[in-house]
Structure 1
């Protein structure tokens, strides 16, 4: 196999290409929505309270996945990823239309924000594992890491474009248009999910309430016994709790530390998205057998150091965001691909649901806790704290691997 490959090779698959384009539209709308909800919180509260409320919104949008991601894994293995993904996105579309209506009528309040954020948290528990498993069902196994890298790319391009669009929408047209755009952005994805066929490999036909818990614990047992996957998800846990809040608390950091407005926030997040786009292109060109052997702890070290630099030198924040975006995109592509390729087909939904459990549950939990810390000691100091944790973990893991060298499992058809 060639040392480097076409980073866009998965787009030759017609069904994946349709899904990729529709997801691109939906994700831009979602990032517009995320930006506006966070800025509403900044506008409603004083600087010493805003970070905590933004953290609470992020917590409610992600913490329910801790309960629902494992359930989603079993349901995916029973009924197929496409069905779960379709109904999840349908509910999110309804949520977006409700948000747009509340803004239009001038009824938006902190209570409504929290309720709708919690509803998004429930659906997020089903979204990530069903999306990743669905991708694996419509592309060849050899293309899976590249397909995941391309999806990460559009996610981060959306993160680059969405906040920038949101900033100018608020400045020239107000909040209402942004939420309406998000509501409409779900339509192409729902249509595409209706027309794309799904190859159902390994889905269980013997489903019952009693078997549900047996299947659930079987997935947990498999993950704990596999040393490579358990170490991978340990690193994911640390980064989700302490690294991801760098971007998720950025509205408060921009206002209180960088001393800028929503346009400045949008530009910083644009830099982060640009970095992620670059990172996704790089890892997308790496063959799968090499990709899953890359060491992500080096990326965590770079991320931790850049969080600390941005904390002490706020003018460096856009450049830190660029670097962190590239490393974060690469980190998720490596860990996601490794988890997918080392998981047997008959329990891939369950294993990926545990990956999602950590990813979507850890980041809002960390954001909520760091937001509360920010309320007490300042947003800058909460960033310093998170940077120290990520850096220390990365150094300790690098040291451990030097003293205990181990080979990453080679994926085989299971």
Structure 2
């Protein structure tokens, strides 16, 4: 198998191409929404309280997946990823339209912002595992890492384009127009999901609470007895807790440390998206067998160092964001592909749901804790702390790997 491959080969698949195109539109809307919600939160509270409130929003948008991702895994294996994914998109579209209505009527307040964030958190517990499993159902196995990389690519292009669009939309048309754009962006994806055939063999006959619990524990046992997946999940946990908050607390960092506005925020997140786009293209060109053997700890070293650079020299934040974006997209592609390719087809929904459980649970938890800590010690010091923790973890794992490689193969 060639070492370098066509990075866009999965788009030859008609169903995946349609899904990828519609998802691109939806993700741009989502990043517009994320940017505007964070900026609303920044301006609802004083500077010393904004980071904590943004962290609380991120917590509510992500932490419910800790409870719902494992449940989603069983339901995906039972009823199929397309069914679960379609319902999550319908609920998220309703959430987006309601948010647009509240802003339009001037009724938005902290309670509604937190409530709608919580609703998004619940649906996200079903969305990510169903989306990833759905992709694996519509592309051949040898195309799966490439398809996941292309999805990461559009996610990060959306992260690059969405905040930039949001900044100009606020300046030219006001907040309500940006939220309406997000609400409308769900419609193409819903239509495409209705048109793509559902080839999943649904399980309706043997559905019970006992069977649900048995299947759930079977997935947990599979992951807990696979040393490669355990190591993958440990690294994912650390990055979710201490790496992801870099972008999720960026509104507060931009306002209090970089001393800029929403356009400055859009530029920084845009640079992060450019880096992620380049990283995803590189990963997409690597053949699957080689990809899943790469050491993601090297990426964590670069990310930790970049966070420290941004903290110490705020003027360099856009460049640090570029490096973090490139490494982050590569990190998630490697760990996601490894998890899916090492999982049997009848277990894939559950293993991916546990992957989402760690990612979606760790990211909002870390953002919430670090955001609240930022209220007391300052957001700059929180960034320094998270960068140091990531560096220590990654270097420790690499040092351990080197030491183990020096040990004799056999022991008497």
Distance across 2 between alignment mates of 1:349 and 1:92: 21
Distance across 1 between alignment mates of 2:35 and 2:113: 13
- Whether the 8 Å CA contact 1:134–1:198 is kept in 2: the answer is no
Distance across 1 between alignment mates of 2:304 and 2:95: 35
Residue 121 (structure 2) aligns with? 121
Task: Please give the per-residue CA displacement for 1:308-337, whole angstroms capped at 9, x wherever unaligned.
Answer: 111000001000000000000000000000
Residue 334 (structure 2) aligns with? 334
Q: What does 1:41-60 correspond to in 2, within 5 Å?
A: 41-60=41-60
Shift of 1:405: 4.2
Shift of 1:339: 0.1
* Aligned partner of residue 347 in structure 2, secondary structure: helix
Distance across 1 between alignment mates of 2:311 and 2:405: 34
Consecutive unaligned residues of structure 1, counting only runs of 5 or more, are 407-414
Does 1:80 pair with 2:83? no
Residue 410 (structure 1) aligns with? none
Distance across 2 between alignment mates of 1:3 and 1:203: 40
* Aligned partner of residue 7 in structure 1, secondary structure: coil
- Whether the 8 Å CA contact 2:52–2:375 is kept in 1: the answer is yes
- Whether the 8 Å CA contact 1:202–1:346 is kept in 2: the answer is no
Residue 409 (structure 2) aligns with? none
Distance across 1 between alignment mates of 2:212 and 2:218: 10
* Aligned partner of residue 402 in structure 1, secondary structure: helix
Residue 289 (structure 1) aligns with? 289
Shift of 1:197: 1.2
Shift of 1:360: 1.0
Change (3 A) 1:347 1:202: farther
Residue 258 (structure 1) aligns with? 258
Residue 143 (structure 2) aligns with? 143
Task: Please give the per-residue CA displacement for 1:293-314, whole angstroms capped at 9, x wherever unaligned.
Answer: 0000000010001101110000
- Whether the 8 Å CA contact 2:97–2:183 is kept in 1: the answer is yes
Residue 152 (structure 1) aligns with? 152
Residue 29 (structure 2) aligns with? 29
Distance across 2 between alignment mates of 1:334 and 1:245: 20
| Superposed structure 1 runs of 4+ greater than 3 Å apart | 201-205
Change (3 A) 1:227 1:201: farther
Distance across 2 between alignment mates of 1:40 and 1:60: 16
Distance across 2 between alignment mates of 1:16 and 1:117: 29
TM-score of the aligned structures, taking structure 1 as reference length: 0.97
Shift of 1:2: 1.1
Residue 374 (structure 1) aligns with? 374
- Give the root-mean-square deviation of aligned CA atoms: 1.1
Consecutive unaligned residues of structure 2, counting only runs of 5 or more, are 407-412
TM-score of the aligned structures, taking structure 2 as reference length: 0.97
Residue 165 (structure 1) aligns with? 165
- Whether the 8 Å CA contact 1:64–1:121 is kept in 2: the answer is yes
Distance across 2 between alignment mates of 1:30 and 1:65: 18
Change (3 A) 1:79 1:283: same
* Aligned partner of residue 206 in structure 1, secondary structure: coil
Change (3 A) 1:144 1:202: farther
Distance across 1 between alignment mates of 2:120 and 2:284: 30
How many residue pairs get aligned? The number is: 406
Task: Please give the per-residue CA displacement for 1:267-308, whole angstroms capped at 9, x wherever unaligned.
Answer: 000000000000000000000000000000000010001101
Residue 248 (structure 1) aligns with? 248
Q: What does 1:265-344 correspond to in 2, within 5 Å?
A: 265-344=265-344
Shift of 1:200: 1.8
* Aligned partner of residue 346 in structure 1, secondary structure: coil
* Aligned partner of residue 37 in structure 2, secondary structure: helix
Residue 111 (structure 2) aligns with? 111
Distance across 1 between alignment mates of 2:405 and 2:355: 24
